[in-house]
């Protein structure tokens, strides 16, 4: 069993990151939060990192000068921070080649649907749940997968089903899946630490 040295990428609140950090603090997960990187300087995820004394950086195309420079800076910050695995916690930017190459097979994302259905560009947040309900699905859920060059495309690690109930609104379904995601992410990381 190995300690997971984790780097986090977040654009907003980073709810999965918060659950993972809590699991580390309680001893449930053998890991270390090495760095949090956000592309949005006002992201609550960065405030959380500051409160928890986790090193954090705001890196975006605007702060770095270009998408390519941001990609290089992200890869360097993760490496310099000691991250061996990268967890995307609501990170809404496509990763660049430097980061993908440096962490190939070690970047993990959670998607709020059962891939390969309802994935791809623009499929995040409410958009996913609207599409699931419009399609008349009776089951949705969350997928944890490796990240590659395409949105929501990398190899699936695990899936957790969540029912779509008759009369569900987009908000109902989103809330049910959002509640299931953090514990599911922690479970998957625990299994990766054992392998």
Question: Which bin fits 90, alpha (ψ -120 to 50), beta or left (φ > 0)?
Answer: left
Active-site option among 12, 111, 129, 145: 111
d(CA 182, CA 192): 16
Q: To 10 degrees, what angle do helices 44-51 and 15-26 make?
A: 20
How many alpha carbons lie under 13 Å from residue 68 in its C-beta half-sphere?
Answer: 0
Q: Please answer whether residues 177 and 159 qualify as being in contact, where contact means their C-beta atoms are separated by less than 8 angstroms.
A: no
Q: Please answer whether residues 96 and 74 qualify as being in contact, where contact means their C-beta atoms are separated by less than 8 angstroms.
A: yes
Look up 129 and say whether it is catalytic: no
Strand order in the sheet with 4-10: 56-58, 31-38, 4-10, 85-88, 107-111, 139-146, 156-163
User: Is omega for the bond preceding 116 within 30 degrees of 0, making it cis?
Assistant: yes
Catalytic machinery residues: 111
């Amino acid at each position: 069993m190995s300690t997971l040295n984790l780097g986090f990428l977040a654009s907003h609140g980073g709810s999965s990151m918060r659950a993972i950090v809590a699991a580390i603090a309680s001893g449930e997960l053998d890991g270390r939060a090495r760095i949090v990187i956000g592309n949005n300087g006002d992201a609550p995820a960065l405030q959380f990192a500051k409160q928890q004394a986790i090193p954090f950086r705001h890196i975006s195309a605007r702060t770095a000068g270009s998408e390519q420079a941001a990609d290089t800076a992200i890869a360097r910050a993760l490496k310099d921070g000691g991250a061996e695995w990268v967890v995307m916690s609501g990170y809404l930017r496509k990763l660049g080649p430097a980061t993908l190459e440096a962490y190939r097979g070690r970047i993990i994302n959670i998607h709020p649907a059962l891939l390969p259905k309802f994935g791809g560009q623009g499929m995040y947040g409410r958009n996913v749940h609207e599409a699931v309900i419009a399609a008349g699905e009776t089951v949705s859920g969350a997928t944890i997968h490796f990240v590659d060059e395409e949105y929501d495309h990398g190899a699936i690690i695990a899936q957790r089903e969540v029912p779509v109930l008759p009369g569900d609104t987009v908000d109902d379904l989103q809330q049910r899946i959002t509640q299931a995601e953090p514990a599911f992410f922690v479970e998957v990381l625990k299994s990766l630490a054992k392998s």
